[in-house]
Structure 1
Amino acid sequence: MEETHEHLEARAAQLISAGSLFHGRGWMPATSGSLSARLDDHHMVITASGHHKGDLDQNDLMLVDLDGHVLSTGKQPAAETFLHIILYRRSADIGAVIHTHSVPAMVLSRVVVEAGLTLAGDDVLKALPGCTTHHDSVTLPIFPNDGNIPQLAAQVDDHMNRHPDTPGYLIEGHGLYTWGRDVTEARHHVEAFEFLLDCELQRRRFDP
């Protein structure tokens, strides 16, 4: 576990930085949202429940294995921890998962009546996997908010079995989930999605 502990310190620092950035932009108000990073094939580090994302330190993060067992004594994982776990289980190429709780993600997840929200027509799309021009598009599936997290996780997993290139998703009234090969890439995806969601929300105000 020495290698895991070495990764833990580095990954924790990256998640702390990301939490501060996203809180400052209004995407993780108060204690909302969650951030995690893979440590190895069996472990991840994730923000503990109830901690302010703008003021994170090492004590606000915890070690969890990919079976859902808490390995940090005295710490409570966020309710949505299993939504992170299922992504790490899906692919070794997923190295970080981030959940934000911004106004655009919240509003659009509640007003879009379709099963998914399609984003298109902006150069920022090129920051997302599979997009090379503004002519490309990305569809974020929208899942009903379900307090039964294992059941919700199963819905997400089933969707991704059918659409393995999905780069993120929305939960109604709960926000955005996206991921990347590492924390840096996941941060880029968050920034791209949040910009595109904000543009979509503004566009709908002018063209309802």
Structure 2
Amino acid sequence: MIEFEASVFQQAAEDLCKYGKLLYDRDWSPATSSNYSVRLSDQCCALTSSGKHKGELTPEQILVVDWQGKPHTPGKPSAETLLHTQLYERDKNIGAVLHTHSHNAVVLSHIVKDDILVLEGWELLKAFAGQTTHECRMEIPVFDNDQDIERLSGLVEQRMQQHQQGHAYLIRGHGVYTWGRDLAECFRHLEALEHLFGYQLEMKRMALA
């Protein structure tokens, strides 16, 4: 039996609704796309329900799932639940995960070559936890989209075992996953990524002009 504090879950549900509205208003999570979560304990997390409009989330649309994706409160978990729990299970320091479907992330994921997006030399790289200089190279892996989420989460884990865990990854034609110690840090990473993705797209447009 998993254990979590009801008050912690309630706060997490309210926070996820708040960030859902924020992400929707920025046009990073249109309609029912995207999913978000917050760690509740070393056994479970709070997660957005499947198929809910992210600009209109209510606390009743947040549920508790364990690392196997099994729900422990009423509701239907997101189809991509295992992409969240894979991160929580591998790293106890991860406290929140945000997955969005922004224009920049989706378009850029289609034109990245060699399944790796390299971000290098940008001042905004200092927005990521532990990064103190722009003089660095950040590699963001790009995975092919797959309706078999268990298989996809396995590929993500395999990549992280062979390379660094990093701060984010893209799914081709789908969107971006990023994480942090809490929702505030996770959102900071996402906001930085959105601008960095925009820089990369603009550079590609300029190269073709």
Same fold (TM over 0.5): yes
Q: Deviations over 1:82-127 (max 9, x none)?
A: 0001000001101101101001110111111221101122211101
- Following superposition, the deviation at residue 163 of structure 1 comes to 1.9
Residue of structure 2 equivalent to 1:111: 111
- Give the Cα–Cα distance (whole angstroms) in 1 for the partners of residues 103 and 171 of structure 2: 13
Residues 70-85 of structure 1 correspond to what in structure 2 (within 5 A)?
Answer: 70-73=71-74, 75-85=75-85
Counterparts in 2 of 1:2 and 1:79: CA distance versus 1, 3 Å: closer
Distance in 2, matches of 1:22 and 1:3, equals: 27
Query: How far apart, CA to CA, are the structure 1 residues paired with 2:150 and 2:67?
Result: 14
Equivalence for 1:28: 29
**Which residue in 2 is equivalent to 1:54?**
55
Please list the CA deviations of residues 139-174 of structure 1 after superposition, one character each: whole Å capped at 9, or x if unmatched: 110000011110000000000111233111000011
**Post-superposition CA distance 1:53-81 (Å, at most 9, x none):** 111110111111122211122x1111110
Q: Counterpart of 1:40 in 2: which secondary structure?
A: coil
Distance in 2 between the 1:22 and 1:204 partners? Answer: 26
Whether the 8 Å CA contact 1:131–1:137 is kept in 2: the answer is no
**Equivalences for residues 10-21 of structure 1 within 5 A:** 10-21=11-22
The alignment yields a C-alpha RMSD, in angstroms, of 1.4
- Kindly state the Cα deviation for residue 10 of structure 1 after the two structures are TM-superposed: 1.3
User: For 2:158 and 2:3, how far apart are their aligned partners in 1?
Assistant: 35
**SS of residue in 2 equivalent to 1:54:** coil
Distance 2:172 2:94 in 1: 24
Deviation at 1:189, TM superposition (A): 0.7
Letter in structure 2 aligned against 1:106: V
SS in 2 for 1:28: coil
Opposite residue 28 of structure 1, the aligned amino acid is: S
**Structure 2 unaligned spans of 5+:** none
- Size of the alignment, in residue pairs? 207
**Distance (whole Å) between structure 2 residues aligned to residue 165 and residue 151 of structure 1:** 18
Give the secondary-structure state (helix, strand or coil) at the position aligned to 2:10: helix
8 Å contact 1:120–1:134 — kept in the other structure? yes
Point out where structure 1 has 5 or more consecutive residues left out of the alignment: none
Distance 1:10 1:166 in 2: 28
Match in the other structure for 2:189: 189
- How many angstroms does 1:128 deviate by? 1.0
Aligned counterpart, 2:169 = 169
Identity of aligned residues (%): 42
Q: Which amino acid aligns with 2:41?
A: D
Paired position in structure 2 for 1:146: 146
SS of structure 2 residue aligned to 1:142: strand
Helix, strand or coil: the match of 2:5? helix
Length-normalised TM-score, structure 1:
0.95
Q: In the TM superposition, what is the alpha-carbon distance from 1:3 to its structure 2 partner?
A: 5.4
Counterpart in 1 of 2:135?
135
User: What residue in structure 2 maps to residue 206 of structure 1?
Assistant: 206
Which contiguous aligned blocks of 4+ residues in structure 1 show a shift greater than 3 angstroms? Answer: none
TM-score with structure 2 setting the length: 0.94
Q: Which amino acid aligns with 2:185?
A: E
* Contact 1:145–1:174 (8 Å) recurs in 2: yes
8 Å CA contact 1:70–1:77 kept in 2: the answer is: yes
